[in-house]
Structure 1
Amino acid sequence: MGLYTACILAEIEKEIDRPIASCFDLIAGTSVGGIIALGLAAEVEAAVIRNAIATDGPKIFSRKPPPQSALAKKVALASNALHAKYRASTLRSTIVDLVGETTTLGDLQHRVMVPAVNLTKGSPQVFKTDHHPNFQRDWKVSVVDVALATSAAPTFFPLHKIGGELFADGGLYANSPDHLALHEAEHFLDHDPEDVWILSIGTTTSRFSFSNSGETDLGWMGWMDNQRLPRVMISAQQLNTEYMMGHRLEARYLRIDHQQSPEQERQLALDAASEGAIRDLWALSESSIRDNLGKGPLRSFLKHTAPPAQFYNRKAS
């Protein structure tokens, strides 16, 4: 639910004593990471985002630990067979509290890009601030709408409509949007890849694998049991992105994440917001910060101050 990511960002921001967005020429995020990215681009304090996730998470998602028995899992799956598991109203209220009801991408002072899937067109769509002369489409779109579009995870939340178009979670194709950010920097911001550095913060990785002695003929219930399908999709995307980015940027790519233990996997479902899950995610973030904050690679990022971004559809103030 993004708490691990927000906790790390809050600690970094506390350390540098300035908006963390000022360290970066471009911010990217998908799903809950997209919500966080939009908040940072609006210069909402990372600690405020963290506290909102910790406080509102149990209202948005499930307060209960994931079901463990076979019967409880089947009951949970069957109860959500026809409709999305959650309503988006509480999530929307949280986003409005963070960034405001009427704020648009054109109001943001930091470049940001947020992937979603346009189901009306049947294609990926990346919402962007107007940081290139050709970007004429998104700057009038509300930040709330973009946040709800990128986080409309199938089976978890209803699809989100913007105008006459339907959107789903960008994590369907870009759960880790690092490669999209590199492409943006190279092709639209005219940066040589040799000069690009990327800090990527995960949400705690679950490297989901199957036992060779387990069931192989799985139907929808088997694939959704223990969130197998979304876990496999997310894990495969993350590992592929890390591998490719490591080749492209080498030491200029810093990934901060924590691999869940088998015991943690049982507590940290994709939508877990129980007291135990919140406590575990907070503790894991503290461990990751201790491992990275004093080291050279992260320090290099935090010394950088991005020059003011140029935008192309803003009225002179």
Structure 2
Amino acid sequence: MAKYVLSLDGGGVRGLATSVYLFELEKRLKKPLSSKFDLVVGTSTGGIIALVISVLEIEGPKLLEIYSEANLKKIFSKSFSSFFRTKYSGENKMEVLHDYFGTMKMSDADLPCSILAHNLDTRFPTIFSERAHPELFVADVAAATSAAPTYFPAVEIESNWYVDGAVSTNNPALIAFSEGKKLFPGEEIKVFSVGTGFNNNFVEGSKTKYWGSLSWLRGGIIPMLLESNLEHQLSQELIGQNYFRVDSNLNEVASKIDIKTMSNLELMKEMGLKWWNKFEGPSLEFLDES
């Protein structure tokens, strides 16, 4: 019997669309996601969702609460004006994470999970899991995987410093496939990948000729790097028919992982519902639930 791996992209508050889609999927399955999937893998906001599913076994409605306006306003407050500091302190984000995870450790996971963060000391991604890191606090791992550069400070865990897992890979589908192969040797691995939407923002090449670092930041270099389709293309080629992807163009939904997205929360909920309406049939067929 095939083993199903849930792979969740990064994307800041756009994870709300992911959560709405997963909520609808769970309703249709009539059982918790943790009962359908054999492993969950996530990076950045997808890493937080993965931990909630794995450690807390929270069902749909509670999953949506993470992206409540109250939580997001708290996380994206204490803004700094200095060019030489991160935009937000990270303290409020940690408070919200502690509200959910308390002093739980990775060993408390009921569903195997693999969470990506980028190690600044080794310059390689680190994959946190209940298997390799049972004594780590879940809140610390959640803070590390979502420590987006320029927005939140790096997080120290066991004398190493970590930033957002999306710095290494924003779509962790290939890592999900690899982790599944290691955890379930000899089994067929199916990767169910959920994105956070992508932009088709056009940058006119000739205008970038004399751009410096500040101009590239203004021009959206970070979202541009995070939304590369390379990972998706490679996953299609290497995993083949055992790879399924839920994602779409953001269109009118703002892409910035910022407090400015507050007015777009309803639009992101709409996007999650549109994903469900569009992908319901193929999703259930891939999961052998049709």
What's the TM-score once normalised by structure 1's chain length?
0.80
Q: Kindly state the Cα deviation for residue 189 of structure 1 after the two structures are TM-superposed.
A: 2.3
Q: Kindly state the Cα deviation for residue 213 of structure 1 after the two structures are TM-superposed.
A: 4.5
Structure 2 counterpart of 1:278, one-letter code? L
1:80-95 aligned within 5 A: 80-95=82-97
**Whole-angstrom distance in 2 between the partners of 1:52 and 1:120:** 30
Q: Which residue of 2 aligns with 1:26?
A: 39
1:157 to 2:146 alignment: no
1:283 to 2:270 alignment: yes
1:105 to 2:106 alignment: yes
**Whole-angstrom distance in 1 between the partners of 2:180 and 2:261:** 38
Q: Which residue of 1 aligns with 2:128?
A: 127
Query: Deviations for 1:292-316, whole angstroms, at most 9, x for unmatched residues?
Result: 12x1443442649xxxxxxxxxxxx
Structure 1 counterpart of 2:93, one-letter code? L
Matched position secondary structure for 1:254: strand
1:3 to 2:4 alignment: no
Structure 2 counterpart of 1:27, one-letter code? V
1:171 to 2:166 alignment: yes
1:234 to 2:261 alignment: no
Assess, with a 3 A threshold, how the Cα gap between structure 1 residues 121 and 248 changes in structure 2: closer, same or farther.
closer
Query: Deviations for 1:37-68, whole angstroms, at most 9, x for unmatched residues?
Result: 00000202232121221231132237xxxxxx
Structure 2 counterpart of 1:301, one-letter code? L
**Whole-angstrom distance in 2 between the partners of 1:61 and 1:184:** 33
Determine which structure has more spread, i.e. the larger CA radius of gyration.
Answer: 1
Assess, with a 3 A threshold, how the Cα gap between structure 1 residues 274 and 123 changes in structure 2: closer, same or farther.
closer
Matched position secondary structure for 1:50: helix
1:1-317 aligned within 5 A: 1=13, 2-42=15-55, 43-55=57-69, 56-61=71-76, 79-99=81-101, 101-130=102-131, 135=132, 138-192=133-187, 195-226=188-219, 228-236=220-228, 239-261=229-251, 263-264=252-253, 267-272=254-259, 274-293=261-280, 295-301=281-287, 303=289
Q: Kindly state the Cα deviation for residue 243 of structure 1 after the two structures are TM-superposed.
A: 0.7
Assess, with a 3 A threshold, how the Cα gap between structure 1 residues 119 and 127 changes in structure 2: closer, same or farther.
same
Query: Deviations for 1:142-170, whole angstroms, at most 9, x for unmatched residues?
Result: 11010001111111101111132211111
**How many residues are matched?**
275
Task: Tell me, yes or no, if the aligned pair for 2:170 and 2:227 is still in contact at 8 Å.
Answer: no
Assess, with a 3 A threshold, how the Cα gap between structure 1 residues 271 and 302 changes in structure 2: closer, same or farther.
farther
**Whole-angstrom distance in 1 between the partners of 2:230 and 2:112:** 25
Task: Tell me, yes or no, if the aligned pair for 2:40 and 2:54 is still in contact at 8 Å.
Answer: yes
Q: Which residue of 1 aligns with 2:10?
A: none
Matched position secondary structure for 1:29: strand
Q: Kindly state the Cα deviation for residue 103 of structure 1 after the two structures are TM-superposed.
A: 0.7
**What is the percent sequence identity of the aligned residues?**
26
Q: Kindly state the Cα deviation for residue 129 of structure 1 after the two structures are TM-superposed.
A: 1.7
Unaligned runs of 5+ in 1: 63-75, 305-317
Q: Kindly state the Cα deviation for residue 272 of structure 1 after the two structures are TM-superposed.
A: 4.4
Task: Tell me, yes or no, if the aligned pair for 2:19 and 2:63 is still in contact at 8 Å.
Answer: yes
Task: Tell me, yes or no, if the aligned pair for 2:199 and 2:255 is still in contact at 8 Å.
Answer: no
Q: Kindly state the Cα deviation for residue 251 of structure 1 after the two structures are TM-superposed.
A: 2.8
**Whole-angstrom distance in 1 between the partners of 2:202 and 2:222:** 12
The farther-off stretch of 171-180 and 249-258 is 249-258
Assess, with a 3 A threshold, how the Cα gap between structure 1 residues 183 and 61 changes in structure 2: closer, same or farther.
same
Matched position secondary structure for 2:152: coil
Task: Tell me, yes or no, if the aligned pair for 2:124 and 2:168 is still in contact at 8 Å.
Answer: no
What's the TM-score once normalised by structure 2's chain length?
0.87
Q: Kindly state the Cα deviation for residue 80 of structure 1 after the two structures are TM-superposed.
A: 4.3
Q: Aligned-pair RMSD on alpha carbons?
A: 2.3
Assess, with a 3 A threshold, how the Cα gap between structure 1 residues 98 and 83 changes in structure 2: closer, same or farther.
same
Structure 1 counterpart of 2:231, one-letter code? T
Unaligned runs of 5+ in 2: 1-12
